[in-house]
Copies of this chain bind each other. A is one copy, B any other.
Amino acid sequence: MADDSSIPPGHEVLAAVLQIRAGELHVLLWQRALPPDAGRWALPGGRLRDDEDVETSVRRQLAAKVDLADVAHVEQLAVFSAPDRVPGGRVLATAFLGLVQSDVNPHLPEDTAWHPLADLPPTAFDHDAIVARARDRLRAKLSYTNLGFALAPAEFTISGLRELYTAALGHPISATNLQRVLTRRGLLVPTGRRVTPGPSGGRPGATFRFADRNLHVTDAFAVLRPPHPPSGGRPPVVP
């Protein structure tokens, strides 16, 4: 099938690394110093070498911006291939989703920073579309996999986990329901320990950890939906 004659396009890998910081989804971006798109913010990544596959490549290039040990999960998203997606020659991009646990704060280079997805700075090329794709993938997989392990600290309370899920999903969920759903799926393991309450008091929360820190899908494809205004549940008591 070598019928077409064309200059082989370049190929780069790009990673949208997400983390929940201060209750909001953030993405790791670095500010371009040189044209094209100087001053705009870009995803970590770069050219694919000819002795590595794309998974190896994205991990290598990510290491230039953050400590790889801090990235809890990496998976391929899609190829972005519009002919004019970058100026000055054709470059295809294989995009990845990366996740960092909320309790780590990696050391970053000067040009690199976390930005909330709700308020992105001007982004380079088609990188904003890649970020949107990463967000959608994360939200979908939180519902039917154990991907929460890549957002949560090693040990956490249910209400802490609820905040993370709320921030990632973009809508509130019930802590009661979250605990039961994840427990029934066998994803949650109680540590036996409990956390000391804050300055305002309150019952100390029991801590949990994820049973498995490798991605797998739950056989029940259930969804953590946004709250359903008038639906199931015990009927309100009328006084």
Contacts and interface: CB of A to CB of B under 8 A. Distances in A.
Interface string A211-239: 00000000111110100000000000000
Contacts of A2: 46-47
A225 to B, nearest CB: 8
Contacts of A220: 223
B92 A11 contact: yes
A54 interface: yes
A69 interface: no
Interface string A10-54: 111000000000000000000000000000000001111111111
A3 interface: yes
Contacts of A222: 221
A177 interface: no
A196 interface: no
Interface stretch (A78-86, A98-106, A152-160, A202-210): A78-86
Contact of A221 (B1, B92, B221): B221
Interface in A99-152: 143-144
Q: Most chain-B CB neighbours within 10 Å: which of A7, A45, A94, A221?
A: A221
Nearest to A90: B50
A3 to B, nearest CB: 7
B81 A54 contact: yes
A87 interface: no
A136 to B, nearest CB: 11
A223 B9 CA distance: 40
Nearest to A61: B1
Nearest to A47: B4
Contacts of A1: 12, 45-47, 61
A10 B2 CA distance: 11
A198 interface: no
B9 A47 contact: no
A8 interface: yes
Nearest to A143: B221
A8 B6 contact: no
Interface of A: 1-4, 6-12, 45-55, 61, 76, 78-79, 81-83, 90, 92, 94, 143-144, 219-223, 225
6 contacts: A1-B46, A8-B9, A11-B92, A53-B82, A92-B92, A220-B223
